[in-house]
């Protein structure tokens, strides 16, 4: 009983610090023209040993290290699954019926995966003897290449939601390409991990890929019609049985079924080895055209997910990220080169692929800046590499800085280029004075 109460005490203390710090970080980020998500990411990193643990080590240990980390880990993963479901709900994939959109998705997804991976592999292979001495050169190169090629699907989707462009064809192209990109990226991560552990099997990978394709087909052709039937039946019942009806038509029973379906979908993708978050995303995708359900979810659940669950995930990752100072000009030079190559690979390849698919220059720039968003999805990759010993602490630090940089530049880039293609921005997306805003888009 005493141990349970102590665990509850420290968990509540951590949640209090995280939620308040996230709100402050989000507000500050908005004031300087960034997405609140960027502020929450940076605050999550700063709450870890990189700043909080360095400035106040005793207080840091009291807040975050006096109890087991498992409760925070579980809460963070549940929140990310729910966020991915929410992102899947927000997108209208009917745009992909247009031939040029399908071609753009295919070109962008392919180019934004191959080119960054090649650049990252080359950088990792050449730099491994200097930046990760003692590590396996091939393993280090493969992990750096995977980190270069990943896209932060949840953060990209949240930025799009904040800019109110989720129904725009470019947003659908980008999020579809990012989803394809990340599925391939996670499969690649599994392959690289297996190779590092000397357990690589081509037959096993082919089987996993077949299972993933089967999962998507099953969810679209079997789960989708079943869930729509359940939703419509519940909505009809709620229209006549006011006792169990929510104020917006989302009954308690339907909400419970929806949560169960999301979690079962996440369990399925976890069993397939491509991370539970894709199960949440796929469940959202199959219900993306249930507009009444989407509105009800956004009103009753969505705000809680973004205010409570998401900062917990950011902070949990920050607790594992120890950004130490790069102590030489040579190290900072390597870091600058890494960031430049990663940005060139993602932005440049996506831009050229979009141009090849027939999009305009400004539209291609929008695609490029969105695909370059990496954030914490990359941090997951590099944490795996660090745990396996193929990435040194110094290289890990450089990759963390690259992840933050690539995410920080997304909002300014979109705020600059979206008006050029005729997309209006919501008032909250640009905190600049009116005159400055006009000059930036002229």
**CATH 1.20.1530.20 residue window(s) in the chain:** 78-422
Q: Is the pLDDT of residue 11 over 70?
A: yes
- Residue 421's pLDDT band, with cuts at 50, 70 and 90, is confident
Nearest to 402 by CA among 372, 427, 423, 360: 372
pLDDT tens digits for range 195-233 = 665 455 566 667 767 787 888 899 999 999 999 999 988
pLDDT tens digits for range 103-127 = 888 899 999 999 999 999 999 999 9
Which two three-digit tokens encode residue 428?
A: 């909250």
The label of the residue with tokens 């956004």 reads 298
C-alpha 368/C-alpha 131 separation (Å) is 29
Q: Is the pLDDT of residue 322 over 80?
A: no
Which CATH architecture group holds 78-422? Up-down Bundle (1.20)
What's the confidence (pLDDT) of residue 309? Answer: 87
The better pLDDT of the pair 433, 222 is held by 222
C-alpha 204 chain-centroid distance: 27
What's the confidence (pLDDT) of residue 347? Answer: 95
What's the confidence (pLDDT) of residue 37? Answer: 77
pTM of the model: 0.74
pLDDT tens digits for range 249-277 = 678 889 999 999 999 999 998 887 667 77
Indicate the Cα dihedral angle 379, 385, 388, 392, nearest 10°. -100
Between the ranges 128-137, 183-192, 425-434, where is the mean pLDDT highest? 128-137
Q: Is the pLDDT of residue 396 over 80?
A: yes
CB atoms closer than 10 angstroms to residue 101: 20
Which two three-digit tokens encode residue 373?
A: 């968003």
Mean pLDDT of 283-299: 88
Mean pLDDT of 25-51: 85
């Amino acid at each position: 009983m005493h141990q349970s109460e102590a665990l509850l005490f420290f968990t509540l203390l951590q949640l209090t610090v995280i939620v308040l710090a996230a709100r402050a970080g989000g507000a500050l980020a908005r004031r300087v023209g960034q997405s609140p998500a960027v502020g929450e990411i940076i605050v999550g990193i700063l709450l870890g040993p990189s700043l909080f643990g360095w400035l106040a080590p005793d207080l840091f240990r009291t807040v975050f290290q006096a109890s087991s980390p498992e409760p925070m880990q579980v809460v963070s993963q549940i929140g990310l699954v729910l966020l991915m479901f929410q992102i899947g709900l927000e997108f209208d994939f009917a745009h992909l019926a247009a031939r040029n959109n399908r071609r753009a998705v295919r070109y962008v997804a392919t180019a934004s995966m191959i080119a960054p991976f090649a650049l990252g592999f080359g950088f990792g292979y050449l730099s491994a003897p200097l930046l990760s001495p003692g590590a396996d050169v091939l393993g280090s190169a493969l992990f750096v290449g995977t980190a270069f090629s990943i896209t932060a699907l949840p953060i990209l989707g949240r930025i799009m939601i904040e800019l109110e462009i989720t129904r725009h064809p470019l947003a659908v192209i980008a999020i579809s390409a990012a989803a394809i990109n990340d599925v391939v990226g996670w499969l690649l991560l599994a392959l690289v991990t297996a190779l590092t552990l000397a357990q690589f099997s081509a037959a096993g990978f082919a089987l996993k890929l077949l299972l993933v394709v089967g999962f998507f087909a099953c969810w679209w052709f079997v789960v989708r019609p079943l869930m729509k039937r359940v939703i419509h039946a519940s909505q009809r019942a709620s229209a006549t049985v006011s006792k169990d009806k929510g104020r917006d038509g989302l009954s308690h029973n339907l909400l419970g079924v929806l949560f169960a379906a999301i979690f079962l979908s996440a369990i399925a993708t976890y069993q397939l080895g491509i991370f539970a978050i894709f199960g949440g995303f796929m469940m959202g995708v199959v219900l993306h055209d249930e507009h009444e359900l989407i509105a009800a979810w956004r009103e009753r659940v969505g705000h809680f997910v973004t205010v409570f669950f998401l900062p917990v995930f950011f902070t949990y990752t920050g607790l594992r990220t120890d950004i130490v100072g790069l102590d030489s000009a040579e190290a900072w030079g390597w870091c600058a080169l890494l960031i430049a190559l990663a940005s060139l690979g993602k932005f440049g390849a996506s831009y050229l692929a979009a141009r090849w698919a027939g999009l305009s220059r400004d539209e291609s720039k929008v695609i490029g800046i969105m695909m370059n968003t990496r954030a914490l999805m990359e941090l997951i990759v590099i944490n795996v590499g660090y745990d396996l010993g193929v990435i040194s602490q110094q290289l890990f630090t450089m990759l963390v800085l690259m992840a933050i940089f690539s995410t920080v530049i997304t909002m300014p880039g979109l705020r600059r280029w979206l008006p050029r293609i005729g997309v209006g921005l919501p008032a909250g997306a640009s905190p600049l004075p009116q005159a400055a805003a006009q000059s930036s888009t002229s």
